[in-house]
Amino acid sequence: MNLIAAAARAYVYSGDWVADCPRIGCGSVEHLYERANPRQPNSPRVAQKPEFHCSYCGQTAPIDWPAQLAEITAILMLRPVPHTRNWYPQDHDTAVRFRVPHGQSVEQLQEENVEHGVPAGAVN
């Protein structure tokens, strides 16, 4: 038995940073940012959670964030339609299963923006 939980791999789905529960067979997805006001369902998600916690099965795990978290977020948020804001790390199980792009670089996300008439966004 492996006592060290697999990390929860952060990805962007419809503009929100989320992660699939790493427990095999659970299948739950959790938001990785807390809302500014937990009592207001529409308040912005501003505070990064320190670790993954599954509200369904109770699993906790470290979160595997991409090195370019800030750049990825900034470029995706330039897209006006929320369901076009998506990013998965390389070989992410969900992306592979649903045959959607994964492991896209910041530059590739910028190219997608330009292809759709959205500003590329500046990267430091």
Interacting residues with Zn ion (CB under 5 A) = 21, 23, 26, 28, 54, 56-57, 59
Integer CA distances (angstroms), 105 to 75, 108, 110, in order: 11, 5, 9
Q: How far is the CB of 48 from Zn ion (least distance, A)?
A: 20
Please say which residue, 43 or 60, places its beta carbon nearer to Zn ion.
60
Residue 55, classified by CB atoms within 10 Å of its CB into exposed (0-12), middle (13-18) or buried (19+), is exposed
Please say which residue, 59 or 86, places its beta carbon nearer to Zn ion.
59
Q: How far apart are CA 111 and CA 16, in angstroms?
A: 21
Q: How far is the CB of 105 from Zn ion (least distance, A)?
A: 30
Please say which residue, 54 or 109, places its beta carbon nearer to Zn ion.
54
Q: How far apart are CA 61 and CA 35, in angstroms?
A: 20
Phi/psi for 17 (5° steps) reads -75, 120
Q: How far is the CB of 56 from Zn ion (least distance, A)?
A: 5
Query: Are the C-beta atoms of residues 7 and 63 closer than 8 Å to each other?
Result: yes
Please say which residue, 26 or 118, places its beta carbon nearer to Zn ion.
26
Q: How far is the CB of 82 from Zn ion (least distance, A)?
A: 25
